[in-house]
Structure 1
Amino acid sequence: MKICLATVHADARFIPLALLYLKAYLVEKRKLAAEDVQILEFTPRATPEEIAHRVLQGAPGIVGLSCYAWNIKALMPAARRIKSLRPDVLIVLGGPEVGPVARSVLEKCSYVDCIVKSEGELVFTNIVATWKAGGDIAAVKGVCFRHGSLVFETEDAPILHDLNQLASPLRMLDGSPKGRVICIETQRGCVFRCNFCFYNKDLSIRNRRFDLGRVKEELRFWLQQDIDEIYLMDPVFNLHAARAKEICRFIAEHNQRRVMIHTEVWAEFIDDEMARLMQEANFHHLEVGLQTTDANVLAITERRLKLARFIEGIEHLKRHSVPFELQLIYGLPGETRASFRESLNFAASLQPPLLQVFMLMVLPGTELSRKTKALKIEFDPEPPYNIRSHYSMTEEDIAYGEKVSRALAGDGAWTLRLLGREAGVAFADFIDEWIEWTDGKPAAPSAHAQDLAQENIRQFIRHYCARKRIPPAFYEASSAIESRTWTEFAAVGV
């Protein structure tokens, strides 16, 4: 029997690590032939009909779909189409988008047969073995499944304490890795309790680690390949400082090709040595979550922040010129427009290389999703589940946050942030002026949108500098350089 594993990427450069784990376990632990387990990857442009057609070309008996907030709207119609064309195919869903709400998904979607509720490697392979043997899916732990018109749920699957029992996905990728972002896990789960985050919070063991020997083997293999970037997909790469430093030393020693390393870190755990090792290993993009500085919001969302140590960690990164992106979340319960502006001013005062504001998403299975009634949270019922309002923010407040987010992510964002550092300028006030300036500007046809955006920035620089009596030449030059850089990136498809 053949098996097809499929997903739709948000960014097609990233390898499908979850599906590679599934295939590796089926091949190495269950002794299925590698050619009988097909992995299909689709871009966001793929239609449900195209997905269904390609999946069924291989005549699979089981189809596994890897579901996330960014692809569920494409995969569910594809699953419906697959079932209509091949009713005998067993359709199994997995991933954080469906696992925490498995019963409700099955009750709404009659074309789905089974959903893996949590980690997939062992559970999915048990589904495959049971189905091949003609057994009853009810015997498989950790699933929600359909029997006729009824939906049943089995007891939770036991937690895999030793991650090293998982087969390595190292050699399961078909085709050349050139141009791909190679994803590697050194650990799973997170010890922190942030209510807005999912990261294996459904498991009683919050953090498990792969042996360093295995991590080094995978890193050594990929650092020798013709690749440009490795993404260490850990919730907090430096959760265990000594271990993180050892991994950094290993990468620095073996990274002769200067492959770029991308990961998420906790600023409080960064000391001078770690920042230096990251620079030597060529960590080119660190995601650093500040999220908020509001003590009330931190308490409501159970988010930890030791501000003095956070600042120290940021200073270590800057001292060693390690590129990082400082991130805020807008719309957290308990936050107000005023308290967000304080967080924004603080974040800007740290002068990070990149500063981003993301809208709160009320993700299925998170603690926040269970507190919506108590906190009067209203959010979009469809992915990506963006916040609409809550007890301390109106819809108008949320709309303001969306404008701030766009301002910091749009054309000219770097130049605007430089201008916002001028003495006597509060960054949040400066962003408000930019928002007010752009609100009244007409939209341009898509073919001319970038040119119009750049002209708006140039005009705003002249206007703002004249009003504040700031010499504009430096900022006009910065805007021109930034414009040329993004044009060059666009020309090569970056």
Structure 2
Amino acid sequence: MTSVTLVGINAKYIHSNLAIRCLRQAVVPRPVGLVELTINDTITHCVDRLLSQEPLVYGFSCYIWNIRYVLELAEILKASSPKCQIILGGPEVSYDASQILGAHPFIDAIVCGEGEEAFTQIIQAIDSGTDYKEMTIPGLVVKDRPRQATLQSLSHLEATPFAYTPGDLEALKGRIIYYETMRGCPFRCAYCLSSTLSGVRTQPLDRVFKELDFFIKHQVRQVKFVDRTFNVNPSRANQILAFLAAQPGDTNFHFEIAADLMDDEMFRIIASAPVGRFQFEIGVQSTHDPALQAITRKTDLTQVKANIRCLVALGNCHIHADLIAGLPHEDYHTFGRSFDTVIALGPQMLQVGFLKLLKGTRLREAAGDFGCRYRSFPPYEVISTQALSAMELQDLRHIEEMVDRYYNSGRFTHTLGFALKSRRWASPFAFFEALSRYWYAAGYDRGAQSRDQLYVILFEYFKAKRAEALAVELLALDARLQGIRKLPHGLLEGPVDSEQSFEILKDEDFVSAFLPELTAHTPKNRHKQVLFMPASSDLREYLDQEGETVVIYKDRFTLV
């Protein structure tokens, strides 16, 4: 049989590629090689890996984050092994296949849309000695015979085999596993590739439960559902969530959901789940009605906000909310209001993304209608619009960096919980705006900043802004909760007297209640693992606790 190698080039090592595994399983029992690399690997390393496979066919899975890397790699492979076939597939090559083939003569063919059926026919043809380029294969566009291919989608998703084997999970140990129970999306958001396909196709639930059980039994760390709007059918979503909530193990499951489609039963199921079992990503995108109308995104914002608050209040799942900067009709100030509205809901992460004018989307076709200028190269990110200047978008990128470093890191929870409500800043958006200007004015963007240095920078920023002493005290608390013992004078000052701290750790009743893991340890050994800081009257009032000393162990603390 002809040797075939499928190549997935991921954005990060922790990621994995679902597409190449779907294609491999589509031609079982025929052997197909898989190679996964990252865009951070050197070209030399990748060429070494791929040439050593010595296949006659290389298949690449192409996305906005890897297409330039794929093209560079494919050109080298073709020059090194002229008889090999280079076949591309994926969303980044499915909408302008003929143009890509014309511009890159080292590519032999492109599969447009969902590729299981086309890939199977190509491999069968090659194995039988037939020239697949002379065949009429739905979705296939070949060199020297350019044509406009129809984007292919499978009519019967249940016919596709399960993508993973036990060997895959062993090879991917510790990495994110991507999984699908459906394809398609009923909504027509103008910026999204899912809007280019019609209909939603689902896997039967008995199969879904069996496959999820497979992940759990193999102790996968995280399974990330790639289903668009997982809860578009609330009843079906609830059955899957209920199944997972009742399972043993520590596997985390990540879902992209529409918050306004959640019902009481879904909240009941989520509330019953173990802490950390579920993670929900909620695309709010904007709270500005003209922007939402322009992208044909129908959503009940009142319900979205209420349901995010309820999810956060449950306290047993991680909530990740998304906003998009650069949407039509949303200017700098209205984006700031969207930002303030969403961050006030209390999600653990607020991802500020920037509009990408993806190939095949209606928003790309209508870019001129709202004065959108965007990069002509991947990821096709917005540069300016009628409502947002290029400099304003740069300012938003600076703000996004601060949000990611400080808010999304989860290392400044108490500090930001206070600072974002402080009257010293007009709003949370104003806080991050001012912090970003301080950061860039001081030149911190010109070098890498360590975890400890982030505390120092925020401390210096608070001093420059004459922030309340309580803000600095909470920053010291957050630093100690990260196990940091040494920081500049003024931030971690006023250590608790060692005799006093030893007395606290000699109290066996206290240790049993707050430090049960250390009951078998001596006070001296306990002292090496526990941190202390004095508690001001302001801190005691803010935390609503009595006591003069904060006792900190790992990620928890109490006052005594």
Tell me, yes or no, whether TM beats 0.5: yes
Q: Aligned partner of 2:157: which letter?
A: L
1:131 correspondence with 2:123: no
Residues 54-65 of structure 1 correspond to what in structure 2 (within 5 A)? Answer: 54-65=49-60
SS in 2 for 1:111: coil
Contact map agreement 2:141 2:147 (CA 8 A) in 1: yes
Q: Aligned partner of 2:397: which letter?
A: E
How far the C-alpha of 1:89 sits from its partner, in A, is 1.1
How far the C-alpha of 1:14 sits from its partner, in A, is 2.9
TM-score under structure 2 length normalisation = 0.79
CA offset digits 1:400-421 (Å, max 9, x no partner): 2111211100146653642343
Alpha-carbon distance in 2 for matches of 1:181, 1:412: 23
Q: Please identify, of 390-399 and 44-53, the stretch whose mean Cα deviation from structure 2 is larger.
A: 44-53
Match of 2:306 in 1: 312
Q: Aligned partner of 1:422: which letter?
A: K
Match of 2:461 in 1: 460
Contact map agreement 1:196 1:368 (CA 8 A) in 2: yes
Match of 2:230 in 1: 237
1:13 correspondence with 2:14: yes
Alpha-carbon distance in 2 for matches of 1:444, 1:288: 30
Match of 1:222 in 2: 215
1:259 correspondence with 2:251: yes
Alpha-carbon distance in 2 for matches of 1:157, 1:190: 15
Match of 2:61 among 54, 66, 77: 66
Contact map agreement 1:196 1:363 (CA 8 A) in 2: yes
Q: Aligned partner of 1:292: which letter?
A: S
Q: Aligned partner of 2:343: which letter?
A: A
Q: Aligned partner of 1:356: which letter?
A: Q
* Structure 1 residues 447 and 376: alpha-carbon distance in aligned structure 2, compared to 1, 3 A threshold: closer
Alpha-carbon distance in 2 for matches of 1:158, 1:16: 20
Residues 108-147 of structure 1 correspond to what in structure 2 (within 5 A)? Answer: 108-132=103-127, 133-137=129-133, 138-147=135-144
Match of 1:492 in 2: none
Contact map agreement 1:63 1:90 (CA 8 A) in 2: yes
Q: Aligned partner of 1:436: which letter?
A: R
Q: Aligned partner of 1:72: which letter?
A: I
How far the C-alpha of 1:2 sits from its partner, in A, is 1.0
CA offset digits 1:280-331 (Å, max 9, x no partner): 0644421111110111111111112211211221122123222101111111
How far the C-alpha of 1:176 sits from its partner, in A, is 3.6
Contact map agreement 1:270 1:313 (CA 8 A) in 2: yes
* Structure 1 residues 249 and 450: alpha-carbon distance in aligned structure 2, compared to 1, 3 A threshold: closer
Alpha-carbon distance in 1 for matches of 2:332, 2:14: 36
How far the C-alpha of 1:484 sits from its partner, in A, is 4.5
When Rg is computed on C-alpha atoms for both structures, the one with the higher figure is: 2
Match of 1:367 among 354, 362, 379: 362
Residues 285-300 of structure 1 correspond to what in structure 2 (within 5 A)? Answer: 285-300=279-294
Q: Aligned partner of 1:57: which letter?
A: S
SS in 2 for 1:183: strand
Contact map agreement 1:49 1:81 (CA 8 A) in 2: no
CA offset digits 1:147-168 (Å, max 9, x no partner): 2xxx412653664221011111
Contact map agreement 2:9 2:66 (CA 8 A) in 1: yes
* Structure 1 residues 123 and 444: alpha-carbon distance in aligned structure 2, compared to 1, 3 A threshold: closer
SS in 1 for 2:92: coil
SS in 2 for 1:373: helix
How far the C-alpha of 1:375 sits from its partner, in A, is 2.3
SS in 1 for 2:369: coil
1:472 correspondence with 2:471: yes
Match of 2:202 in 1: 209
CA offset digits 1:244-285 (Å, max 9, x no partner): 11001111222x112111121111112343134235064442
Q: Aligned partner of 1:296: which letter?
A: P
1:382 correspondence with 2:377: yes
* Structure 1 residues 412 and 483: alpha-carbon distance in aligned structure 2, compared to 1, 3 A threshold: farther
Match of 1:490 in 2: none
Match of 1:76 in 2: 71
Residues 299-338 of structure 1 correspond to what in structure 2 (within 5 A)? Answer: 299-321=293-315, 322-338=317-333
1:404 correspondence with 2:399: yes
Match of 2:156 in 1: 162
Alpha-carbon distance in 2 for matches of 1:403, 1:260: 31
Alpha-carbon distance in 1 for matches of 2:378, 2:445: 28
1:419 correspondence with 2:414: no
Higher RCO, Cα 8 Å, sep 6+: 1
Alpha-carbon distance in 2 for matches of 1:223, 1:332: 39
Contact map agreement 2:11 2:40 (CA 8 A) in 1: no
How far the C-alpha of 1:478 sits from its partner, in A, is 4.3
Alpha-carbon distance in 1 for matches of 2:387, 2:264: 39
How far the C-alpha of 1:50 sits from its partner, in A, is 2.6
* Structure 1 residues 339 and 448: alpha-carbon distance in aligned structure 2, compared to 1, 3 A threshold: closer
Cα root mean square deviation, aligned: 2.3
How far the C-alpha of 1:448 sits from its partner, in A, is 5.5
Match of 2:261 in 1: 269
* Structure 1 residues 177 and 396: alpha-carbon distance in aligned structure 2, compared to 1, 3 A threshold: closer
Q: Aligned partner of 2:336: which letter?
A: R
Match of 2:351 in 1: 356
Match of 2:190 in 1: 195
CA offset digits 1:35-74 (Å, max 9, x no partner): xx00000123222333233222222121100011111121
Contact map agreement 1:143 1:153 (CA 8 A) in 2: no
Contact map agreement 1:375 1:390 (CA 8 A) in 2: yes
1:41 correspondence with 2:7: no
SS in 2 for 1:396: helix
SS in 2 for 1:153: coil
Alpha-carbon distance in 2 for matches of 1:120, 1:447: 41
SS in 2 for 1:472: helix
**Corresponding pairs, count:** 472
* Structure 1 residues 483 and 377: alpha-carbon distance in aligned structure 2, compared to 1, 3 A threshold: farther
